Amino acid sequence: MHVNLLINKNCCFMMSFLWYNDFDVWILIDTTNRMLQNDNEKVGYDMEAANTREKQDILLETGTNEMEIMEFTVAGNTFGINVAKIREIMMSCPVTPMPHSHPSVEGVFKPRDIVITVIDLPGYLGLSAEEPTEKDLFIITNFNQMHIAFRVHTVEGIDRISWQDIEKPDATIYGGQEGLVTGLAQFQGHLITILDFEKIVTDIAPETGLKMSEVYEMGDRGRDEHPIVIAEDSVLLSKMILEALHQSGYENVKHFDNGQEAWDYLESLTEDPDTLNDNVNCVITDIEMPKMDGHRLTRLIKENKALKHVPVVIFSSLVTDEMRLKGEQVGANEQLSKPEIGKLVHVVDSLVGYEGTEE
């Protein structure tokens, strides 16, 4: 499915959330891609009814192993971002520079009641030497409990794509294994490069990443042999999660690069139910992953007679109120936002019954 978006100087494109603003034209799209627009006057909207319908739509789509990608361009190059990360798209506007900020940070602006940092995405990617223009757009995102605006040149539309059709790039693309590309999607004859927006923000402001200090502050803990399975496609984040668990005493940890690999392993364990608990006591999964996403993985676990007792923790930058509904629908035991690495350890302790022993 592809949705074309008409965005002009007087309009604002709203994703999932419906915010009142001062623009003259609204284009509203809900999670089923129904488009409503009014070219002449502001649109009054029943927020309660809209939110109720939105929640129903979210739940109906849960666990289908599909994602919606919004295509945008920078200097003629086509990139993609998960629609779940987007709060709003608006025309670019004046920004207040901040002293001593990162070269890719343009500054801040306050469109309503919150201050939003603006990142010069063309400059960060090294793809445009041109000065920003009033025709540029701001993609306003919400992930890792932050609101960040990214400057782009055009927005092309929304594509619904199966995670099975998204390939992990090889190590030569955008800086190697810890580069900026999380996946490559082939759609209607063209290639969409899906950027790792979390890594972009962490590169610019490292303090926004996983707070490993929370784990180190726990001090020395005894070893624990409860088997834990992790599904996480980011090489950098998986290393940090593994380090956090090992630092916390968990030594029996298996990591898989996506939900499909994790599911293949878990399903193989069901062939011998007597030893299943010796191989998995808890699953920690990201949401966004090639081949199979975390919601689909969670649903498969909870619908399997032999595995449904295994606790699943969704650990993702996308744990917003709306995405939490999806996690609850597929049966996740806990859902945490990725900066909360210390809380993740405590949750795992509770779910598996941490029994650390001294060496």
Please indicate whether residue 123 or residue 47 has the higher confidence score (pLDDT).
123
pLDDT in tens, 63-77: 678 888 899 999 989
> What number is the average pLDDT over the span 312-328?
88
Residue 40: pLDDT band (50, 70, 90) is very low
Name residue, tokens 């402001």: 205
Task: Compute the distance between CA of residue 151 and CA of residue 128 in angstroms, rounded to an integer.
Answer: 12
Structure tokens, 315: 């650990």
> What number is the average pLDDT over the span 105-113?
89
Structure tokens, 190: 């063209």
Domains of the chain plus CATH, in order, are: 2-206 (2.40.50.180), 210-352 (3.40.50.2300)
Task: Compute the distance between CA of residue 146 and CA of residue 5 in angstroms, rounded to an integer.
Answer: 25
pLDDT in tens, 169-224: 766 554 444 578 888 888 888 889 988 898 898 888 876 666 677 777 787 888 88
Please indicate whether residue 105 or residue 16 has the higher confidence score (pLDDT).
105
> What number is the average pLDDT over the span 117-134?
84
pLDDT in tens, 154-181: 998 888 888 888 887 766 554 444 578 8
Residue 226: pLDDT band (50, 70, 90) is very high
pTM of the full structure: 0.72
Task: Compute the distance between CA of residue 259 and CA of residue 130 in angstroms, rounded to an integer.
Answer: 40
Task: Provide the 10 A C-beta neighbour count for residue 104.
Answer: 17
Q: What are phi and psi of 268, to 5 degrees?
A: -65, -30
pLDDT at residue 357, rounded to an integer: 63
Residue 36: pLDDT band (50, 70, 90) is very low
Residue 322: pLDDT band (50, 70, 90) is confident
Given a contact cutoff of 8 angstroms between Cβ atoms, the answer to whether 80 and 195 are in contact is yes
pLDDT in tens, 262-310: 999 999 999 998 899 999 999 999 998 888 999 999 999 999 999 999 9
pLDDT in tens, 239-254: 889 998 998 999 999 9
> What number is the average pLDDT over the span 133-155?
89
pLDDT at residue 8, rounded to an integer: 36
Whether residue 42 is predicted with pLDDT greater than 80 in this model: the reply is no
> What number is the average pLDDT over the span 116-124?
93
Residues near 100 by beta carbon (within 8 Å), at least 6 away in sequence: none
